[in-house]
Every structure is written in C-alpha cells, then in structure tokens.
Amino acid sequence: MNLIIDVGNTLVKLAVFQQDELFEKRVVKHEDFLVEVMRILDKYPVISHGIISSVGKLNQEDLQSVASEIHLLILNSETKLPFKNLYKTPKTLGVDRIALVSASVKHFSDSNVLIIDAGTCITYDFINSENEYFGGAISPGFRLRYQSLHNLTANLPLLEFKPPELLTGNTTDSSIHSGVVFGVLKEIDGLIDEYEKKYSDLTVILTGGDTNFLSKQLKNGIFANSNFLLEGLNFILEYNTK
C-alpha cells in the first residue's frame, strides 16, 4: 500500500492507495500533519512506500519522522516522470502540476489533454498525444481575485466567494461577485476554446477545490475529478518503485 501526501498552501491531503484503488482520504491542517500520518500508518501497517508533493511549508522534523517509518519519495524536478518534459524551466515547474500531468498519462495516454486545476491559483497544463508536456498557464483563482480587489484598492470590501445572482451588479458587492465569478468562467471557457481550435480531439480535465461549482457552470465538455492530483502522485510513486 502507498501513502500519498499533498501539501498545499493551507491544507494537507493524505491518501492511501492499494495499486490504483483509493482506500482513504483525509484533509488536515499543517499542524496536525504528523499526528494524522501516524494514525494512518497504525491503521494500515502494510504501507511501505509514500510520496510527498509540497507547494506549501512543512515542518522538516515532521518530514523526517515520516521518512523514518516508510520509504518516502520527495517529488521534485529530478524525479523520474512518465512523460517527456519540454518545459523550458523544469526546475521551476510546480510539483502539483507534475502530478496532474502524470495522472493524465495514466488515464488518457495517446490523447491531447488540457488539465485545469482550480484552487488558490488556476493552472492550465497541456500534454499532447505523443506524451510531450509543453506547459500551460497560471492565473488567480477566486480567492486571490477577491483579495486583490480588496488589498490593492482603497474602498472595495473583502468578500467571500458567492455565485452571482445578477449579471449586472447593482451594488458594490454584487458587482464584485459578478466580475470575479463570470471572469473566471469566461476565462476557462475561452482558453478551452483556443486549445480546441488547435486540437479538435482535445480531452479536458477539471480538478481542484472549486471543481464542483465550476463543472456545473462551464459550457465546454469536461471530465471532473477532484482526486486527479492524488492519483497522479500515486502513479509517479508506482512508476518509481517498479
């Protein structure tokens, strides 16, 4: 069995896989990371290998504690990957994006795939049918857009995400909700349209924290999978332990 650790900016996702099957998933705060990992290892004593992907800060002592219990692969730019990486600055490529592209290879090999990860940032990653990864795009997610409107202006309030009731906002709050939410929706649909002009057989994957909302709003056909990153990490681990 494998232990999958995805360290985000605010939370940590923990998952247990038996080959391709997801047995359990937990979402915990950074400060609870080690306690929850040890609980999982107690519950599944057959876990022998693990992988960690980190875009956030994690206590190094906690990391060493886990590494003393199982064989732990730390995902970075030197890790052996199941695709050809043509990104011009591979050392700056986020490990979360590496995991997502790996998942697309696992599930949609021989396909042109656009992966959209909608979270704190919205990332777009493209891999072609020849298993060649080129890169993509990065833009602010919902929360960053709300925060920037508040932080970089004198009078606009800081709002929480809310689906707009009006296209034409008639208050400051409703105008912000309309601008942020419809802006994201039109951005995503527009980028999908541009890729489909070049690749008529494009497969589009949507994942990330805002998957449930976005999958119901976007006009383009997509596959929604909230566990796509975890599946990608598990695939990388299996690929490196054969």
Residues acting as catalytic residues:
96
Cβ burial, residue 234 (10 Å; 0-12/13-18/19+) = buried
Separation of CA 18 from chain center: 21
Alpha-carbon distance 199 to 205, whole Å? 15
Alpha-carbon distance 18 to 21, whole Å? 5
In sequence order, the 6+-apart residues with CB closer than 8 A to the CB of 190 are: none
3-state secondary structure of 209: coil
Alpha-carbon distance 156 to 172, whole Å? 8
- Nearest by Cα to 125 from 87, 73, 173, 75: 87
Residues comprising the chain, all counted? 242
User: Cα angle vertex 60, ends 120, 7, to 5°?
Assistant: 25
Cα distances from 161 to residues 22, 76, 96, 182, 219, in angstroms, run 30, 33, 24, 12, 21
Return the structure tokens found at 159. Answer: 């709002």
